[in-house]
Amino acid sequence: MDKYIESVYNSLVEKDPDQKVFHQAAYEVLTTLEPAIKKFSKYQENKILERMVEPERIVQFRIPWKDRDGKIQVNRGYRVQYNSAIGPYKGGFRFHPTVNLAVMKFLGFEQTFKNSLTGLPMGGGKGGSDFEPKGKTDDEVEAFCTSFIMEIYKYIGQFVDIPAGDIGVGAREIGYMYGAYRKITNLHGTCVLTGKSPVYGGSLARTEATGFGVVYFCEEMLKAAKKGSLKGKTVAVSGSGNVAQFAAQKAIQLGAKVVTLSDSDGFIYDPAGIDQKKLDFILELKNVKRGRIREYADKFKCNFTPKAAPWSVKTDVALPCATQNELNDKDAKKLIDNGVACVTEGANMPCTLEAIKVFQDAKVLFSPGKASNAGGVATSGLEMVQNSQRYFWTFDEVDAKLHGIMVNIHKTAYETAKLFGQPGNYVLGANIAGFLKVADAMIAQGYTA
């Protein structure tokens, strides 16, 4: 590792030794920036890396709320406002018991590069809470969301910070939070949150955007490598939430055979393929009934493997769409033994550093989430545009713009990798391309930026 980069990395580890998942995200980015840092001395001279790894601001707060028995519960909330050099902070809220400051920092750091790659003027941020929405009543979720907004509303706004959804935060949670924000501030239509329902200002196709975008990106990877298209290919998807559902849907629409989905209890394997009718069952199961993936296996008489991820099946393409570090080096080797040709990340950092190395060494096409899952935040950007214009676009108009953005992100990552001497290395291409724009904006705005 380059001495300057090594010193920046060592320093962030020393400052926060327990933030392992943040170290991992920083390591992945910093080590791939080496060719750019060597080529342009201005980044080291302006201490850009030291500034970039440190968030501009972190807000941490308590969230007291009342449960169904009238008892007060207390959770912890965060907003990490990472970098606003190219636009207001933008990034989702995650509600999950594993949320802590390290997770928020890793996600906010990643988001900065991802948002830069979209080409839209959005800085990076992330927030959330260790609140677990699973098993809660709607009233409990509403009570929590209202209390959460009562504190965080002071720090967000259309020109400051525009949060959205993530794990555990979907249409229901965004609705309660938007309602609470509107009551507190008496403001409407200012786009303080994206991922809203289209009935009160959301964008059509935002729900589908991350998953669709992952598949558009995957198609571009296959095309660039002259490996055909998704038509006729077998696809293994993990997760069964927002990203997984619509990645599966788009893959099915493009003629692929999707054979797996999962949740934290295990995965289903349907060798006949999940068609649109079966997927409709999943959408109802997960988004309305809030049930478990094993119910799919009961209904369609296929295999359910408890407490495992779907990386042991025979597949051409893998789309990890659940959570961070869900695919390790052993899983990567199993996928390669089973013939995988392309791995397109849908979740944020689902593959460990060791797994990425295994894929790259074996010349398996591999793209990092910050490039391939950027369609969600890009469409959030389009939601902001529509809100500013007091106007809306049709589903097809938004979908066409999303497709164009994903093609462009692919081209940027692909060409940047080639330009910096590592053709086909999407990790390096995406990191350098995302970095250059933010770094140049920081330099242009002076040393306090």
Chain residues that interact with ligand NDP, rule: CB under 6 A: 165-168, 170, 210, 239-244, 263-265, 321-323, 326, 346-348, 373, 376
- Smallest separation (angstroms) from ligand NDP to the CB of 275: 20
- Phi, psi angles (nearest 5°) of residue 407: -60, -40
Among candidates 230, 245, 217, which has minimal Cα distance to 321? Answer: 245
- Reduce the DSSP state of residue 318 to 3 states and report it: strand
> Cα dist. 158→56, 58, 111, 322 in Å?
18, 18, 18, 29
What is the DSSP code string of 328-369?
Answer: -HHHHHHHHHTT--EEE--SSS-B-HHHHHHHHHTT-EEE-H
- Smallest separation (angstroms) from ligand NDP to the CB of 145: 15
Among candidates 159, 88, 167, 152, which has minimal Cα distance to 124? Answer: 88
Among the listed residues 105, 126, 233, 286, the single catalytic one is: 126
Cβ proximity of 41 and 127 under 8 Å: no
- Reduce the DSSP state of residue 197 to 3 states and report it: coil
Closest CB to ligand NDP among residues 36, 387: 387
Number of C-beta neighbours around residue 27 at 10 A: 16
- Smallest separation (angstroms) from ligand NDP to the CB of 54: 22
Both structure tokens of 163: 């949060």
Closest CB to ligand NDP among residues 348, 352: 348
Spatial separation of the C-alpha atoms in residues 435 and 30, rounded to whole Å:
10
- Smallest separation (angstroms) from ligand NDP to the CB of 324: 6
Spatial separation of the C-alpha atoms in residues 110 and 123, rounded to whole Å:
11
Residue 405, judged by CB atoms within 10 A of its CB (0-12, 13-18, 19+), counts as buried
Closest CB to ligand NDP among residues 206, 257: 206
Residue 134 annotated to the active site: no
Closest CB to ligand NDP among residues 149, 321: 321
- Smallest separation (angstroms) from ligand NDP to the CB of 170: 6
Q: Please, which residues bridge with residue 260 across strands?
A: 236, 269
Closest CB to ligand NDP among residues 171, 407: 171
Closest CB to ligand NDP among residues 348, 386: 348
What is the Cα gyration radius of the chain? Answer: 21
**Residue nearest ligand NDP by beta-carbon distance:** 241
- Smallest separation (angstroms) from ligand NDP to the CB of 36: 25
Catalytic residue numbers read 126
